[in-house]
A and B are shown apart, each in its own frame.
Chain A
Amino acid sequence: MATVAEALADLSVGRRLKVLPLEELYTSGHRTCQGCESALVMRYMAKVAGPRTVVTGTTGCMYVANTSYNSTPWVVPWAHTQLGAAGSSALGTAAGLEALMRKGKIPREKINVIAFCSDGGGGDMGLSGISAAMQDTRYNLLILLYDNESYANTDIQASGMTPWGAVTSFTPSGTKKKISQHRWKKNVPALLMAGHPQGRYFASASSGFGMDLMEKVRIALDVGGPTFVQTHDPCPKGWDFDPRRSHELAILAVECGITVLWDFLEGELRYQGVTRQLVEGALKRRPVAEYLQIQGRFAHFGDEEIDYFQSQIDEMWEQWLLPGVLPATAIPQELELGTAAGRGRSEDV
C-alpha cells in the first residue's frame, strides 16, 4: 500500500489526459441507454483501477444493462451481487483474497476490490452493509455509489436520493397536487463520513469531471482500508433530456452548486475543481433554473418551485459551515475544547 503522500504525488501526473492508459477494462458492447453517464463512470473506474482488480456489482442498471445473456463488456473479473449487498460482497471478496494470500494459494500482491452500487441499492437498501464495511479496517476495499437519482433500471422509481419535486413513477405530478416527491436528497457520502471515523477515504464526485473522479478512485484504492466514492451521473431516460446533453448536465449540476465535489482524507476535508472555486468565491454559482429547465422530470416546476429549490441550495452554500457536507450553521460555544461542559463530565466520574 502506497503512503498517502506517495499516492498524491503520483496523481499530479494523472491529471494530464495523455498519460492515462488508453486501454479499456470496461469496454464497448453494453445495453445501456444512449448517453448513459453511469456507464462512463464504470469506464473511468475500471480504467484507473487497472487490470489487477475484482469488481462486484449490485442489481441495478449497471448490472442488468451490462451483462445480458452470455455477453459482457467487462475485461476485469466481475460478479453480480444482490441489491443491498455492496458492503458485504466487498468485505467478503477482500477477506477471501486475503485468506488465499495468507494460505499461499495465490501470490501476495495488491488486488483492488471494488463493489459498485446505485443510489437505490447503496443509498437506500444497502446502507447497513456499506456501514459495516466502513467500520472494518482490516481490508482494503472501495464502495463506488453511482447516483442517477432513481431506481432507473426498473423504470424510474423514487429513491432516497431523488431530488425534491422530481417526477418519477412513484411521484407523478398531478393537476391538484403538483409536487409529490417531498423528500430532499439524502447526502450519503457525508453521512458515511461522519458516522465512520475509521473509514480511510470518502469522496463525492461527478461524471462530468472525469479527471477528478479518476483521481478520487485512485486515491481510494491507494490509501487502502475501507473507502467510499459517490458519483453524480445524469440519466437521460429518467431525467428526461436529450442524451447529447448528458455530460453537459453533469457539469452544470456542479456549476449550480447542486452537486458538491469534495473528499475527506486523513482528517482533512477538501473541495475540488469548480466547487473549490465556488467556495473560494472565484466563481459565481449559476442559477439552478438552468439545470432544472433542461430536464423533463422538472417540467412541472413553476417559478415558485424553482425559487424554493434555489433557496435550499442558497441556504446550503450560505448558511452551512461546510457546503454540501455539514448542515450545522454554527458551533455552540460551550462545545469548544476545554470548556465547562467537558470538565463537568470528568468530575462526575
Chain B
Amino acid sequence: MAVGSVDVTYRGIFQKSLASVITKALVKAARHEHKIGGTVQRYSDSPERNGIPAKQFAVIADEETSLRVEMAKYEPDTVVATCVLDDTLVKGLESWAWYGVQAVNASLSPGGVLLVVSERPIEELADWMPRADFDWRLAVLSRKTSFAGLWVYNDDGTDMEVLGALSRVTGGLVALESLVATAAAGSDAARRAELLESGFSSVQVAPISAGVGREWPYETPALPAWDEMGEGVAIRGVPKGERNMLFQKFTTRTARPVVDFDRCVRCQICYTVCPDEAFDPTPSGHYAVDYGHCCGCGICANACPVEGCIEMVDELAFSDNSDLHRIYEADPEGYGNLRQAALATAGGPVRHYGIF
C-alpha cells in the first residue's frame, strides 16, 4: 500500500464531531504503525448546515510524497473504504461541493468496502445499493444512528465501534492493536478498548458483484463556466410559481412528513410555518408536500394542531419523491393503507434522534 484513503460520509453538524474523531483516530493509529497520514475536514460543506450530507477524509500513506500527492487533490480519487454514519444517506447525497445527487458508493475502489451504521438488516440495505462496475463489499455495523448538536459530543461509543469495524473490513488499514494503543488510551481506556473489540467482531460483511444493484436515477446538471454567465455574474431568478430545480434539498432528509389527509382540517399551518416552502396548495384545500424540496426538519409535524395528522416517517420507508397527495386523490383508501404500511416499515413515527 502506497496510500489508502477512507471517506466518512455523515450528516452535517449532527455528526460533524463524530466524523472528525473517526478520521483523526485513523491517522493517529497509522502513526503508531510508523505510517503517516492526514485528514481532510470541511471538504464538502463550508459552512456546514444541519443535516446536509457532508464528508471528511482520512488519508494514510507509507511515505511523504504519496501522502502529499493525495492530500493535494480536491478529494481522493478512490477510497478503500467509505463509512456512512447515517443509513438514510444510502438514498444519495448532494452537498455544497457538487451539484447533482451522488451515489453513496461513488468513490469506492474495486474491492472496496462500504460500511454503514444501521439497525437495519444487511439484506435490506443491500437492496438500496447503487450499481458498480466492479465487485465490492457492503458491511453493516448494527447500531442506532448517533446524532448530536454543535456544542455537545455524543460519547455513546459509536466512534470506537466504527473504528474497530473499519480495522476489520479494510483488512487492517490500521490494526486493531494500534487503535487500542491510541484511540483507547487515556481515561476510560478499558471501555473504549472493549467497544473497539465489539465493533471489530460484530460487523457483518456481504460481497456485492459487479453490475448488481439499483440503476442510479440522478444526472449531474451541466453548470455554466464563469465566462458563460451574465454580466456581473448575474443569473436568472426563479420564474413565478416554480421552484429552484437546480438544487433540491431532499438528501438532507432523514424522515419525511406524511400527512393523514382524512384527518387534515385544512388549517394551513403546515404551509405557513414551512421554512422550505415545500407545501403546495391543492384545489381540495389540502396541502401536498413537494418531497423534492422538503428537508425533513419536522416543524410542520410539531406545529400541526391535529394529533397524528402529520407524522415524521423514516426516509427509508419510501423509494422515491413522488407526490403522495396525488395517490390520495386517486384512491383515499389505498393511500391510507400505503401510509400505514410505511409507518409499519419505519417502525412508527420517528422523533429526531438527537440528544437535544
The answer to whether A and B assemble together is yes
Residues of A at under 8 Å CB distance from B?
A: 17-18, 22-37, 39-40, 43, 51, 64-65, 68-78, 153-156, 167, 210, 236-238, 240-248, 294, 296-297, 299
B273 CB-CB contact with A under 8 Å = yes
In this complex, what residue of B is CB-closest to A64? B47
Q: Which of B64-80 contact A (CB under 8 A)?
A: none
Residues B290 and A245 in contact, CB atoms below 8 Å apart: no
Residues of B within 8 A of A167 (CB): 151
Residues A296 and B235 in contact, CB atoms below 8 Å apart: no
**Number of residues of chain B lying within 8 A (CB) of chain A:** 55
In this complex, what residue of B is CB-closest to A297? B151
Residues of B within 8 A of A26 (CB): 277
Q: Digitize B278-317: 1 where CB-to-A-CB distance is under 8 Å, 0 elsewhere.
A: 1001000000001001011111011100000000100000
One of B239, B240, B249 near A28 (C-beta < 8 A): B249
B60 CB-CB contact with A under 8 Å = no
B248 CB-CB contact with A under 8 Å = yes
Residues A32 and B244 in contact, CB atoms below 8 Å apart: no
Q: Digitize B222-262: 1 where CB-to-A-CB distance is under 8 Å, 0 elsewhere.
A: 01100001000001011111111111110010000000000
Residues of B within 8 A of A299 (CB): 151-152
Bound-state CA distance A72–B233 (Å) is 13
Residues B302 and A31 in contact, CB atoms below 8 Å apart: no
Residues of B within 8 A of A22 (CB): 281
Residues of B at under 8 Å CB distance from A?
A: 13, 47-52, 96, 99, 149-152, 223-224, 229, 235, 237-249, 252, 268, 272-278, 281, 290, 293, 295-299, 301-303, 312, 351-352, 354, 356
Instruction: Show 10 residue pairs from A and B whose CB-CB distance is below 8 angstroms, ordered by the A residue.
Output: A31-B247, A34-B298, A43-B275, A71-B99, A72-B237, A75-B237, A75-B238, A78-B237, A210-B272, A240-B149
Residues of A within 8 A of B303 (CB): 247-248
A242 in contact with B151 given A29-B293, A43-B277 (CB within 8 Å): no
A35 in contact with B297 given A40-B273, A236-B50, A243-B51 (CB within 8 Å): yes
Nearest Cβ distance between residue A236 and chain B, in whole angstroms? 6
In this complex, what residue of A is CB-closest to B290? A28
One of A24, A29, A34, A153 near B296 (C-beta < 8 A): A34
Interface residues of chain B: helix, strand, loop or mixed (majority): loop
Nearest Cβ distance between residue A212 and chain B, in whole angstroms? 13
Bound-state CA distance A275–B48 (Å) is 35
In this complex, what residue of B is CB-closest to A76? B237
Residues of B within 8 A of A70 (CB): 223-224, 229, 235, 246
One of B242, B276, B352 near A39 (C-beta < 8 A): B276
A243 in contact with B277 given A31-B249, A34-B50 (CB within 8 Å): no
Bound-state CA distance A24–B295 (Å) is 18
Nearest Cβ distance between residue A320 and chain B, in whole angstroms? 31
Residues A155 and B48 in contact, CB atoms below 8 Å apart: yes
One of A18, A29, A153 near B268 (C-beta < 8 A): A18
A296 in contact with B150 given A27-B243, A37-B275 (CB within 8 Å): yes
Residues A33 and B237 in contact, CB atoms below 8 Å apart: no
A73 in contact with B299 given A17-B272, A28-B276 (CB within 8 Å): no
In this complex, what residue of A is CB-closest to B273? A247
Residues A27 and B275 in contact, CB atoms below 8 Å apart: no
Residues of A within 8 A of B149 (CB): 240-241, 296
In this complex, what residue of A is CB-closest to B224? A70
Residues of A within 8 A of B235 (CB): 70-72
Residues of B within 8 A of A294 (CB): 356
Residues B272 and A33 in contact, CB atoms below 8 Å apart: no
Bound-state CA distance A17–B266 (Å) is 12
Residues of B within 8 A of A31 (CB): 49, 52, 96, 247, 249
